[in-house]
Structure 1
Amino acid sequence: MSEDAVAPVVAAMLIFAIGVTFFAAWNAYYVPSMKAQSEVTHLRDVETGFLRFSSDIGTAASLKRNMQLSEPIPLGGGDFTFDAVKSGGLLRVQNETDGYLRISIINGTSPATTSNILRFANYSYQPVNNFWQDQGYTWSYGNVNVTKGTLETPLQYTSMDTITYGMAGTLFDLDAVPLPDDPATCSQMNIYIVNITPSAGHTHASGNGNGMLTLESAVVSQQFPNTTSMTVSINPALPGGFRDALWDDADNQSASEVLNCGNAHRIPPTDPLEPDPPIQVTFDTIPNMTLNRKIAEITLGAD
């Protein structure tokens, strides 16, 4: 065989080897790197959506009005120009284990005792076949947390112990309406509370497209004439910081409004050492006290 015939074969083999090396390096380094970078951007978008929706819930709880809000959440990521394969994700809304607060009202109508257990929902994002890290997010008791497996840490605080639970201050409001001719006596008390639950039939979304977190708030009002007492009880099993912040707000509001009404009286707790005891208020039968209960029914959905 002549040297002139061998040379093209060697050149072709060298070109083939270079191509194989380039393709191997492309798949081993460049593609994973680009997909990981795209995934980081995707998770940052999820994080931003969670923070915005957390703010939406805080706004709805604070205003206690009829409203509808929504926030898009990208479920999948990791795609780029030369590789369109995407990861997926699961968006879920569910109730916390127990109710967070109970309002009991006793009045002269039937039934004599009306009790409401108020609930708190949470929402979460869980990645599926992630190209970077299995990083997820949860929103619970007003705060966004970053998750990885069973580990969880707050997004905006240094630790769970430093969370301030600012949303707790928006869940309970109380104001008194004095008689026009006797400002020291009250004819009505308005109590504003918040119930946050999952939207029926819209509790999860999955895939690699765009999901949507939705919020709908509707105010439900009921009037209780001839009210003789009201009790506000906070679930002792709540996270300590959230429980204490909620109790402090309810206690401060109850104390200030009751002081303005000569016909309303705070009942001291049975056990002075009990942490966050029930708040009990009684009302004189004359003049008649009407309690107006207004519940902001907030439903959270995932579509």
Structure 2
Amino acid sequence: MSEDGVAPVVAAMLILAIGVTFFAAWNAYYVPSMKAQSEITHLKDVETGFLRFSSDIGTAASLNRNMQLSEPIPLGGGDFTFDAVKSGGLLTIQNDTYGYMRIRIINGTTTAPAINFLHLPDYSYQPVNNFWQDQGYVWSYGYVNVTKDTLATPLQSTGMDNVDYGLTGALFGLEMVPWPEDPAQCSQINVYSVNITPAAGHTVASGNGNGLLALNSTVVSQQFTNVTNLNISINRNLPDGFQSALWDAVNQSANEALICGNVQVIPPDPTNPSSNLTIQMVFAPIPNMTLNRKITEISLGAE
């Protein structure tokens, strides 16, 4: 074989080797690194959406009015110009097990209806076939956790001891209305509370497109006359930090009602630690006490 015939073959083989090496390096390093970077950006967008929706819940709970709010959540990521394959994700809304607070209104010997515990569900994001780390997020008791496998840590705090349960201040409130004949007494109380539940039929969203966390808030009002007692109970099955913050918020609201001379506040029985934490508010028979119960019903949906 002549040298003139060998040279082109060797050159072609060298070019082929360089091409194979380039594509091997491309697939082994460049593609995974670009997909990981894209996934990091995607998870940052999920994080931002979760924090915004947490703020939306706090806004709806505080304002006590009818409203609708929503936040987009990208379910999948990891795609870039030269590789459009995306990961997926799962949005879930899950109701709580115990409820967090119960309000009982007693009119003489009759207890007003709808005394079940008010609820506070979780919403979460779980990655599927992630191109970086299996990092998820869950909102629970008013704050956002970052999750990985069975581990979870607060997103905006250095540890559980530093979690700010600021939502508790919006979950319950009292507004005292003076008696026209004697402003030192009160003849009417507005009781504000919040009940958050999963939206029926909209508790799960999955795929790799754009998801949505949606909130619908409706205020339900009821009036009761000749009220003699108002009992507010906090469930002892709650996490310690949330329970303590909620107790402080409820206790502060109840004690502020003592500006009315016809209101007595009775704290829980310290000798019975197994019972729910209950504050009893007792009203004198004169003037007759009218109670307006205003429940902000918030439904959370995943679409």
Same fold at TM > 0.5: yes
CA distance in structure 2 between the partners assigned to 1:163 and 1:225 by the alignment: 40
Q: In the alignment, which residue of structure 1 is the partner of 2:77?
A: 77
SS in 2 for 1:136: strand
Query: Residues 135-284 of structure 1: matches in 2 within 5 Å?
Result: 135-257=135-257, 259-271=258-270, 274=273, 277-284=277-284
> TM-score, normalised to structure 1's length?
0.96
SS in 1 for 2:49: helix
SS in 2 for 1:99: coil
CA distance in structure 2 between the partners assigned to 1:20 and 1:32 by the alignment: 17
Decide whether the 8 Å contact of 1:105 with 1:114 is kept in 2: no
What is the CA distance between 1:110 and its match in structure 2? 5.7
CA distance in structure 2 between the partners assigned to 1:277 and 1:70 by the alignment: 34
Decide whether the 8 Å contact of 2:217 with 2:299 is kept in 1: yes
SS in 2 for 1:201: coil
Decide whether the 8 Å contact of 1:107 with 1:113 is kept in 2: no
What is the CA distance between 1:66 and its match in structure 2? 0.3
- Partner AA of 2:59 in structure 1: T
> TM-score, normalised to structure 2's length?
0.96
RMSD value, Cα: 1.5
- Partner AA of 2:164 in structure 1: T
CA distance in structure 2 between the partners assigned to 1:109 and 1:131 by the alignment: 62
What is the CA distance between 1:286 and its match in structure 2? 2.5
- Partner AA of 2:281 in structure 1: V
Cα distance change of structure 1 residues 135 and 112 upon mapping to structure 2, 3 Å threshold:
closer
Q: Does 1:130 align with 2:163?
A: no
Residues 57-107 of structure 1: CA deviation (Å, up to 9, x unaligned)? 010011111000000000000000000000000001111221000111111
- Percent same amino acid among aligned pairs? 71
Residues 212-244 of structure 1: CA deviation (Å, up to 9, x unaligned)? 000000000001111110110101111111111
Cα distance change of structure 1 residues 29 and 134 upon mapping to structure 2, 3 Å threshold:
same
What is the CA distance between 1:268 and its match in structure 2? 3.9
CA distance in structure 1 between the partners assigned to 2:66 and 2:292 by the alignment: 17
SS in 2 for 1:11: helix
Q: Does 1:119 align with 2:119?
A: yes
Decide whether the 8 Å contact of 2:88 with 2:130 is kept in 1: yes
Q: In the alignment, which residue of structure 2 is the partner of 1:55?
A: 55
SS in 1 for 2:130: coil
CA distance in structure 1 between the partners assigned to 2:112 and 2:51 by the alignment: 43
What is the CA distance between 1:116 and its match in structure 2? 3.4
Decide whether the 8 Å contact of 1:191 with 1:294 is kept in 2: yes
Structure 2, unaligned runs of 5 or more: none
Paired residue total: 302
What is the CA distance between 1:285 and its match in structure 2? 2.1
SS in 1 for 2:228: strand
Q: In the alignment, which residue of structure 2 is the partner of 1:299?
A: 299
